[in-house]
C-alpha cells in the first residue's frame, strides 16, 4: 500500500508540472552574435599594422608601447624615438581587454581564456599556451536603449549584438550576471632597439587589471583575483582563485603590496607570500570609479561619479599609507571627471576626462591644487604611463607623448591619432 501511495504522488507531481503555464515574452533586444569556442581558440594571429580605432589600455616594455584595441587585439608600436613612434604590427586577440608582459611572453585575456604569446621575434609572433575558461564570461558593450536577450553559453562567446525582436520563454529562476566590458607597479625595465628582451617586466597604466610580481601573475576581475605561476613564462599555471569582494576595478603593485581600486574603497593586501595574499586594510570612500597609484607612503586615488560609477562627484583623494593597517585621508581635491593617473618623483599626472591632462607638483600633498605645473585641456585623457621623463597618454583621440624632463617646459613629442 505504501508503494502504491508513493507511485500516486509521483504521478500527481508530474501532472502538476506538465500543466504549469509557460509564459512567452516578445520584445526588441540586444540579440547575441556568437563565436564558437573552437573558432575563438584558433583566432590569435599576427597581422599588418592597422590604425587605432577604439584604443583601451596601454603597456610599456623595452621601448615598445602596447595598446589594446578594445575586444580585438593589441597594437605594437616602436617607441625608440618618442618623437617619431612607428606602428609596427597588430596581434588579433578576440575579447582582449588587459595585458602584462614578463621577459618575452605577453599575457592577454581572450574572453574566458588566458593566452600566452611569444613576442621575442616581432616578425613571428605566436601563441605558445592557453589556459581555458579561467576568466569570467564577458560581454561586449551593448546598446543601452535595449535589454539583453538570453545568453546561451554553450554556443560560444558573444562577439557582437544585433538589435531585433526576440521571443523567449520567461524563466522562473535567477538570471546570471555577466561582466559587461565598458567603453572604455615597480618594475625591472630594459631598453633595446631590436625587439622584446628575455628579461624584465613591463609597466602598465593605473587602469590595469593585470600585474606581475617576480614569478607571479595577478589578474583581477570584478570579484576574484586569479593567481598564476609564471616562473616558466611560456607555461603559466593557475595556482588559485582568491575572492576579494564585489566591484573590483583596478590593481596596482608596489613592493610586497597589492592595492585594489574598487567602487567603494581601496583594498590593501600583503603579497610577501606571492600566492597567498593577506588582507591588510581598506580605505573606504563614497561609491565611485576608482583607480589608484602609490608612491612611498602616499596613495593617490581618483574618484569619478556618474554613469555606473555611483554618486555624482569627482575628486582626487590623497591618502596616507604610512601605516598600511590604518590608511586615512589627508586631503581631497575637486576634479571634473577623472580617470587614470600616474606619479613619478613627486610629479603627479591626472587624466581629468573632458578637462584634459593636469600635471601637478605633489611634493606637498596638502597643497597640490596650488601647484599645477601644466594643463592640457583639449585632450579627452584616459590613462598615462610616466617613465624616464616621457609621459605616454592614451586618450579618446589617440596616443600623446610629452617630454617632462624640464618640468618648467613640458613639450609635446608626438601624436598617433585615431583612424
Residue 27: what pLDDT?
83
Residue 130: what pLDDT?
98
Residue 103: what pLDDT?
95
Residue 182: what pLDDT?
44
Residue 21: what pLDDT?
55
Residue 196: what pLDDT?
67
Query: What is the mean pLDDT, run by run of 10 residues, along the chain of 419 residues?
Result: 45 45 80 96 97 95 96 97 97 96 97 97 97 91 89 94 86 50 35 56 91 95 93 96 87 93 89 96 73 93 70 86 96 92 95 93 95 93 94 94 94 93
Residue 311: what pLDDT?
62
Q: What is the three-state SS of the chain? A: CHHHHHHHHHHHHHHHHHHCCCCEEEEEEEEEEEECHHHHCCCCEEEECCCECCEEEEEEECCEEEEEECCCEEEEEECCCCCCCEEEEEEECCCCCCEEEECCEEEEEECCEEEEEECCCCCCCEEEEEECCCCCCEECCCCCCCCECCCCHHHCEEEEEEEEEEEEECCCCCCCCCEECCCCCCCCCCCCCCCCCCCCECEECCCCCEEEECCEEEEECCCEEEEEECCCCCCCEEEEEEECCCCEEEEEEECCEEEEEECCEEEEEECCCCCCCEEEEEEECCCCECCEEEECCEEEEEEECCHHHCCCCCEEEEEECCCCCCCEEEEEEECCCCCCEEEECCEEEEECECCCEEEEECCCHHHHHHCEEEEECCCCEEEEEEECCEEEEEECCEEEEEECCCCCCCEEEEEEEEC
Residue 264: what pLDDT?
81
345/306 Cα distance (integer angstroms): 32
Residue 37: what pLDDT?
96
pTM: 0.87
Q: What is the three-state SS of 331-393? A: EEEECCCCCCEEEECCEEEEECECCCEEEEECCCHHHHHHCEEEEECCCCEEEEEEECCEEEE
Residue 272: what pLDDT?
96
Q: What are phi and psi of 248, to 5 degrees?
A: -75, 135
Q: Which of 361, 72, 100 is nearest to 205 (CA)?
A: 100
Grid cell of 360 as nine digits = 601637478
The answer to whether 150 and 178 have CB atoms below 8 angstroms apart is no
Which residues have C-beta within 8 Å of that of residue 396, sequence separation ≥ 6?
A: 380, 382, 418
Residue 80: what pLDDT?
96
Structural domain boundaries in the chain: 32-192
Longest CA span, the chain: 96
Cα distance from N-terminal residue to C-terminal residue, the chain: 80
Amino acid at each position: 500500500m505504501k508503494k502504491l501511495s508513493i507511485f500516486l504522488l509521483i504521478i500527481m507531481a508530474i501532472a502538476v508540472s506538465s500543466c504549469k503555464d509557460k509564459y512567452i515574452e516578445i520584445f526588441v533586444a540586444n540579440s547575441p552574435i556568437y563565436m564558437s569556442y573552437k573558432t575563438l581558440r584558433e583566432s590569435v594571429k599576427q597581422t599588418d599594422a592597422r590604425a587605432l580605432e577604439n584604443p583601451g589600455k596601454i603597456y610599456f616594455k623595452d621601448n615598445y608601447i602596447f595598446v589594446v584595441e578594445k575586444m580585438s587585439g593589441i597594437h605594437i608600436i616602436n617607441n625608440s624615438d618618442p618623437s617619431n613612434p612607428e606602428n609596427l604590427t597588430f596581434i588579433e586577440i578576440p575579447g582582449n581587454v588587459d595585458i602584462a608582459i614578463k621577459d618575452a611572453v605577453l599575457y592577454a585575456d581572450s574572453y574566458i581564456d588566458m593566452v600566452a604569446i611569444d613576442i621575442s621575434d616581432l616578425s613571428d609572433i605566436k601563441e605558445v599556451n592557453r589556459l581555458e575558461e579561467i576568466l569570467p564570461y564577458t560581454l561586449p558593450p551593448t546598446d543601452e536603449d535595449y535589454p539583453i536577450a538570453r545568453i546561451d553559453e554553450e554556443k560560444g562567446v558573444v562577439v557582437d549584438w544585433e538589435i531585433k525582436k526576440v521571443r523567449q520563454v520567461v524563466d522562473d529562476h535567477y538570471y546570471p550576471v555577466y561582466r559587461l566590458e565598458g567603453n572604455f607597479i615597480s618594475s625591472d625595465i630594459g631598453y633595446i632597439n631590436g625587439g622584446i628582451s628575455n628579461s624584465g617586466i613591463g609597466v602598465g597604466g593605473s587602469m590595469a587589471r593585470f600585474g606581475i610580481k617576480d614569478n607571479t601573475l595577478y589578474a583581477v576581475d570584478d570579484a576574484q583575483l586569479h593567481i598564476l605561476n609564471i616562473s616558466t613564462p611560456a607555461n603559466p599555471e593557475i595556482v588559485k582563485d582568491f575572492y576579494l569582494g564585489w566591484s573590483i576595478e583596478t590593481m596596482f603593485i608596489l613592493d610586497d603590496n597589492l592595492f585594489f581600486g574598487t567602487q567603494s574603497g581601496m583594498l590593501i593586501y600583503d603579497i610577501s607570500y606571492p600566492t597567498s595574499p593577506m588582507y591588510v586594510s581598506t580605505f573606504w570612500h563614497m561609491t565611485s570609479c576608482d583607480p589608484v597609484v602609490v608612491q612611498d607612503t602616499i596613495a593617490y586615488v581618483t574618484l569619478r561619479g556618474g554613469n555606473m560609477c555611483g554618486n555624482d562627484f569627482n575628486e582626487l583623494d590623497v591618502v596616507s599609507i604610512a601605516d598600511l593597517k590604518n590608511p586615512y585621508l589627508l586631503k581631497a581635491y575637486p576634479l571634473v571627471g577623472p580617470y587614470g593617473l600616474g606619479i613619478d618623483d613627486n610629479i603627479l599626472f591626472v587624466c581629468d576626462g573632458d578637462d584634459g591632462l593636469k600635471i601637478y607638483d605633489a611634493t606637498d600633498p596638502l597643497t597640490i591644487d596650488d601647484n599645477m605645473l601644466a594643463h592640457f585641456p583639449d585632450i579627452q585623457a584616459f590613462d598615462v604611463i610616466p617613465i624616464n621623463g616621457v609621459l605616454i597618454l592614451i586618450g579618446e583621440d589617440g596616443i600623446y607623448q610629452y617630454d617632462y624632463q624640464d618640468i618648467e617646459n613640458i613639450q609635446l613629442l608626438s601624436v598617433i591619432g585615431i583612424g
